[in-house]
A and B are shown apart, each in its own frame.
Chain A
Amino acid sequence: MTRLAAILFLALAPLAAMAEEVVAGLSQSRISISTNFDGSEILIFGAVKRESEIAAEPPLEVIITVQGPSRPISVRRKEKRLGIWVNTDSVEVDAAPSFYAVATSAPWDAVITDVEDLRHKVSIRRAIRSVGASITGSEDFTDALIRIREGESLYQTNIGAVTLDEDTLFSTSIRLPANLTEGDYSARFFLTRGGRVLDVHDTVIAVQKVGLERFLYNLAHQQPLIYGLLSLTIAIAAGWGASAVFRYIRN
């Protein structure tokens, strides 16, 4: 009986702590990569739903993350061999998100503790899973992965980019670059107080190639022979067309 009570207590405990909940929205839940796609900016907003009075201390903070589909990736390092720079060592990162943006309402240390970060995998470094890295200094490889992707705006850390009004309404905007991978992107919302996560909410943004892009991509992967022949037909037709047109102009 006491055991059952204990289980019940454990199950209910998070509910009691969840006095404040996230209600969230997105400016668009679907992003279409069409031929003229040049990146996109999504507005992410929401409100904090609560039954009780707003507690004054510690302050309420919000973290919003947007994560693209994860793919295994290999990170290679160049070394000088025989006078030229060649790829030598490589480390496989099991799951590296193709896109990762994290926005916070305050400096990092103030919004989340290291333990909570580890549990929820909020920071970029925690979101990347690198297993089976046998080479010493595989940390360098993870650093390099983050550095390269940050350089391409694929990984973003926007400290203080979430605006929080009256401890209730929050919003941020996240810029998605032009070289997006398609797939389901997940947007996560964390409410924290004193570095502890009070509530987590997530929602999905579907990123898809559409129209011509979709058609060509599918054709190339599902009917590669037909795609190849079609490419050749276009090339031959263009070559013939150009010579015919210019012969006509010259005459």
Chain B
Amino acid sequence: MQIYLPIAEVSVNAFLLLGLGGMVGVLSGMFGVGGGFLMTPLLFFIGIPPAVAVATEANQIVASSFSGVLAHLKRRTVDLRMGTVLLIGGLIGSAVGVQIFNALRAIGQVDLLVKLSYVVFLGIIGGLMFVESLNAIRKTRSGKTVTTRKRHNWVHNLPFKMKFRTSGLYISVIPPLVVGVLVGILAAIMGVGGGFVMVPAMIYLLGMPTKVVVGTSLFQIIFVTAFTTLLHATTNYTVDMVLAVLLLIGGVIGAQIGAVIGARLKAEQLRILLAILVLAVCGKLALDLLLMPGELYSLGAAAGH
């Protein structure tokens, strides 16, 4: 069944979109990530204009993270105070990100920026996760217990300290603000929630306990992506509601199925699968940039009109 998307102005198969939403939903349910980093490149591949894909994906992430945060609120694993600090940074970041996005769109470099950010971030995160999970598997095989200790680094010596009771932290507000700004910029440019950057940053940079990280990250992602959606909708008119709804339906159902599958796999196995997936997407995008394209020319809306 073909469906005509009013904003993207292309006709796509509705079942293909439902399927894509479902597939990414399964993965996001299995791995606890938003799935935006997979969905946006997939939308590029099926021919949705990048600007529409990025803006619409932000809208879809609002739905999936809202669904997730409800579950975390019930378990009291959301640090609302930390979430608010990250959020303030995030809103600043996404306002900056949309400006960068528009400026580059005007000079025709937006595709490059989006793709480069993907290659860089997916490469780094995928690589780190792959190495880390390989080590974890090796350690469990050799039967050693992993020792953790509280580290004190430069992060803890900054001014404006604040108590974050749920996380059990007493640290400066500067690092969470900076992390928030960076993730906000990414969310606007890449059409992702930024969970895959936020989660490692919260664990390794801020030293937050792992159990509150996902809920807190989701909490602030809702607001940052909602804000991004509004900015894209009002400045670029690129949010496609029909596309968002189709992806949503597939996504929320898939996420629940994924959660069931995820519960049956081991954590390290899950992480290594996710790492391979991330690296595969990264590799495909990198090849597009490195190999000579089949068509050297591309069409775009005329600048300055």
Contact = CB atoms under 8 A, between A and B. Distances in A.
Interface residues of A, number: 61
A236 B300 CA distance: 33
Contact of B6 (A145, A217, A236, A243): A217
Nearest to A87: B108
A181 B256 CA distance: 38
A86 B109 CA distance: 8
B121 interface: no
Given A235-B62, A238-B249, A246-B256, A74 B299 contact: yes
A216 B6 CA distance: 7
B70 A78 contact: no
B9 A235 contact: no
B63 interface: yes
B153 interface: no
Interface stretch (A13-21, A35-43, A102-110, A157-165): A35-43
Interface string B200-233: 0000000000000000000000000010011011
B43 interface: no
B1 to A, nearest CB: 7
B146 interface: no
B273 to A, nearest CB: 23
Interface residue SS majority, chain B? helix
Contacts of B59: 231-232, 235
B305 interface: yes
Interface in B290-305: 290-293, 295-303, 305
Contact of B296 (A71, A78, A179): A78
Contacts of A33: 4
B4 A37 contact: yes
By size class, the interface of chain B is 35 or more
B99 to A, nearest CB: 17
A186 interface: no
A61 interface: no
A86 B249 CA distance: 36
A232 B56 CA distance: 11
A37 B305 CA distance: 29
Most chain A CB within 10 A, of B1, B60, B67, is at: B67
Contacts of B234: 224-225, 228
A231 B229 contact: yes
A94 to B, nearest CB: 9
B290 A83 contact: yes
A144 B245 CA distance: 35
A107 to B, nearest CB: 29
B87 to A, nearest CB: 16
B212 to A, nearest CB: 19
Nearest to A33: B4
Q: Which of A87, A225, A228 has the most CB of B within 10 A?
A: A228
Contacts of A228: 229-230, 232-234, 239
Interface in B247-294: 248-249, 252-253, 255-256, 289-293
Given A77-B296, A234-B63, A239-B63, 17 more contacts: A37-B4, A71-B301, A74-B108, A74-B299, A76-B299, A77-B297, A92-B303, A144-B296, A214-B6, A224-B235, A228-B232, A231-B59, A232-B62, A239-B65, A241-B252, A242-B67, A243-B71
